[in-house]
Amino acid sequence: MIKNDLFLRTLHGESTERPPVWFMRQAGRYLPDYMVLKEKYSFFERVQNPDLARKITVMPIDQVGVDAAILFSDILVIAQSLGLQVDMIPEKGPVLQTATTEAEVAALNLENTYEFFRYATPAIEAVKEGLENRVPLIGFAGSPWTLLCYIVQGQGSKDFGEAKKFILNVPERAKVMLEKITEATIRYLEIQIDAGCDVVQIFDSWGGILSPTMYYEFSLPYMERITKAVKDRVPVILFAKGAWYALDKLNATGASALGLSWTTSPEYARKICGPKTIFQGNLDPATLLASPDVVAKATKKMIDSFGGQNHVVNLGHGVLPTTRVESAKAFVETAKAYPY
């Protein structure tokens, strides 16, 4: 039904004429037309209003030419669904009502998940309409550990020291929180899939700041639970930024593909996971700050090192806000020109 199904065929392990390409945060901050909408509407209006969600999600398909769309949203909606106030402060980023005491963790509320996410179905349906079956739509959520980072710290952080202190000092309370986040996330992904998302990705943006031992205890089991809950319905992509040491265990979850950071070489990933695993990534997003010819050369080298198969071309993390559209286009067009 979907005209350009290159991304889906790749995720199903088929051999393809070229690797598909999309990139994390492709719908957003580096696009001038997005910045116009950002000036006019609040962050959560842009997420929840079907017309805005459609416009923003479809924008990179028309303007940059990627092979997949990703729903415009934010990982912090799960914190909101649990009853916490989340504000997006310009220049500063998200500020959250925290939950750290036993009473605050007990009060995290799973009863309103469906009520809270009632905006999602019409928004996703509007996006699907806007896509006119041109490319598949990716839904997404954050990993439970990454959500805990924000819920405990209350804002972004270089080291999420408070979040780590929390899991070290009160591990059982942390696990109660992680269980609740996991359940809300599974429900939210089910809603996304019911409304038409063709693939889902779990972003463990702060996975790589944990030591391996802590990662295996506080992040991996919850990612695995989510993967197992939805993987029979749609392909699941796991992206654990910087958690190179967990590749073998992430691969064993049954996910369809693994996102790689730019510090994990394709050769290393292949050695650990074998020839069949589908990898997504992994150009350093800062590369797109360079001139288009430098971008094209670096992208080509990256694609070649993956070998052109079992690979979804992407960045190793979200596109930087200062990226120029020409450089993003050079990245996408290089992938589309494969084989060179």
Q: What residues make contact with a copy of itself under the rule CB under 8 A?
A: 158-162, 164-165, 168-169, 208-214, 242-245, 262-265, 268, 284-287, 289-291, 294, 298, 301, 316, 320, 322
**Nearest distance in Å: CB 335, a copy of itself:** 18
CA distance 162 to 100: 10
**Nearest distance in Å: CB 229, a copy of itself:** 28
**Nearest distance in Å: CB 189, a copy of itself:** 28
CA distance 159 to 293: 35
Nearest to a copy of itself of 209, 230 (CB atom): 209
Q: How many CA atoms lie less than 13 Å away from 140 in the CB half-sphere?
A: 24
- Does a cis peptide bond (omega within 30 degrees of 0) precede residue 282? yes
Nearest to a copy of itself of 231, 297 (CB atom): 297
**Nearest distance in Å: CB 219, a copy of itself:** 12
Nearest to a copy of itself of 34, 166 (CB atom): 166
SS3 156: coil
**Nearest distance in Å: CB 184, a copy of itself:** 26
Name the helix (H) or strand (E) containing 174.
helix 171-195
Nearest to a copy of itself of 228, 249 (CB atom): 249
**Nearest distance in Å: CB 5, a copy of itself:** 31
CB proximity list for 159: less than 8 A, separation 6 or greater: 209
Nearest to a copy of itself of 107, 252 (CB atom): 252
Nearest to a copy of itself of 42, 263 (CB atom): 263
CA distance 69 to 211: 33
Between β-strands 93-96 and 86-89, what pairing exists: parallel, antiparallel or unpaired?
Answer: antiparallel
Strand positions, DSSP E, 223-339: 236-240, 257-259, 278-283, 311-315
